[in-house]
Amino acid sequence: MANFNFIDTDLFIDRLDYDPALSTAAEKIFELNHPSAMSSLSLLELKGNYISDLILLHRKISESDSFTVACAKIRRIGGRKYDLMFARLIKWISEFSIHPWDEARRELLTCLDGQLSTIWDYFRNSVDMVFDDFKCTRAEEVPEDDGTNWRSSIPLCVQRNTRCSIINFMKSYDNELRKLCYHLDSLDPNLMTQELYRIKQAANDSIEKEFPWEGRTCRRVADLIIGLHSKAGNKLISSNRKEHSQLHIPLGYQFEHFDIVEKRTK
C-alpha cells in the first residue's frame, strides 16, 4: 500500500495541455511514478472541470446554426478558456472547413463525442489504483448522454442520494485534523488561501461535531481529502503549492511540487 505515488488532479489536465513542453513533462510524471494512484476526489474534480468544459462546448456547438453563432455563444460563457478550447479543437482537426456548417458541426460533435465517451476511463486508467476507501457516491457517477446531449451536473450531496462513509473517514484522522487546525491557526494570514480557510472550518467541524459533508463540502475542500488519501502512499505530486505546502506536514504526507511555470514553453 505504501508504495503508491499519488498524482493530483491538475496533472491529469496538464497531460492534455496544448503546450507540448508541459504535456510532455506531465506525461513523464505518470511514466516515472509507478505504482501510481489517484484519489476519488480527483475524479470528481475532473468531472467538474475538464469534462464539464467538454460538455459545455458540445452543447454550444450543437445549439448553433452557424460558425459565427457558435463562436458568439462560446465567447459569452465568459473568460477566454472556452473560446481557446474551441480554437484548439479546430486547429487539432486541421484543414477544417466551416462550410457547410451542418457538416462542420457534425465533425466537431463527432470529435467531442469521442472524447467524452473515453475520457473518464482514460483518466481512471492513467494510474494503477484509484483510492476510494470512503466510496464517494459522486465519483461513481460516470458522465452520460441521452444520444444527443451529455449530462455533467454533479448533484449536491444529500441523505437520499449519498451512500459514502466520509464522516467515518474524517473521524479516523482526528489527530491529523487537530494538528492541521493548530498549524493553520498560527499561519501568517498572507499565506492563507480561500481553500485553506474552508479546510480549517471543515476540519474544526469534523473535530467538534462531524464533517459537514452535505452539499458540496468535499469538492470545496478537495485538497484536504486528497492529502489524507496520499498518506496511504509515498507522496503526492501536485502543482498546487499554495495548499499542499501547508497541509502536508500537519497531515503527514510527502509533497512533491510539479512546477508548471518552469515546465511551460518559454
Where on the chain is the footprint of another protein (CB under 8 A)? 13-14, 16-19, 22-23, 50, 53-54, 66-68, 71, 80-81, 83-92, 98-99, 103-104, 106-107, 109-119, 121-122, 125, 145-148, 264-265
Q: Give yes or no for a contact between 232 and 2, defined as CB atoms under 8 angstroms apart.
A: yes
Nearer to another protein, 76 or 88 (CB): 88
Nearer to another protein, 56 or 251 (CB): 56
The size of the chain, in residues, is 266
| Residue 19 C-beta: closest distance to another protein, Å | 4
Nearer to another protein, 112 or 157 (CB): 112
Nearer to another protein, 81 or 163 (CB): 81
What type of residue sits at position 52?
S
| Residue 177 C-beta: closest distance to another protein, Å | 33
Alpha carbons 9 and 51: distance in angstroms, whole number:
12
Alpha carbons 112 and 145: distance in angstroms, whole number:
12
| Residue 61 C-beta: closest distance to another protein, Å | 12
Concatenate the DSSP letters of all residues of 196-231 into one string. Answer: HHHHHHHHHHHHHS----SBTHHHHTHHHHHHHHHT
| Residue 18 C-beta: closest distance to another protein, Å | 4
Query: From the CB of residue 159, how many other CB atoms can be counted at a distance below 10 Å?
Result: 7
For 124, counting Cβ atoms within 10 Å of its Cβ (0-12 exposed, 13-18 middle, 19+ buried), the class is: middle
Nearer to another protein, 125 or 175 (CB): 125
| Residue 224 C-beta: closest distance to another protein, Å | 24
**Cell numbers at 214, concatenated:** 452535505
| Residue 14 C-beta: closest distance to another protein, Å | 7
The backbone torsions φ and ψ at residue 44, rounded to the nearest 5 degrees and listed phi first, read: -65, -40
Nearer to another protein, 83 or 195 (CB): 83
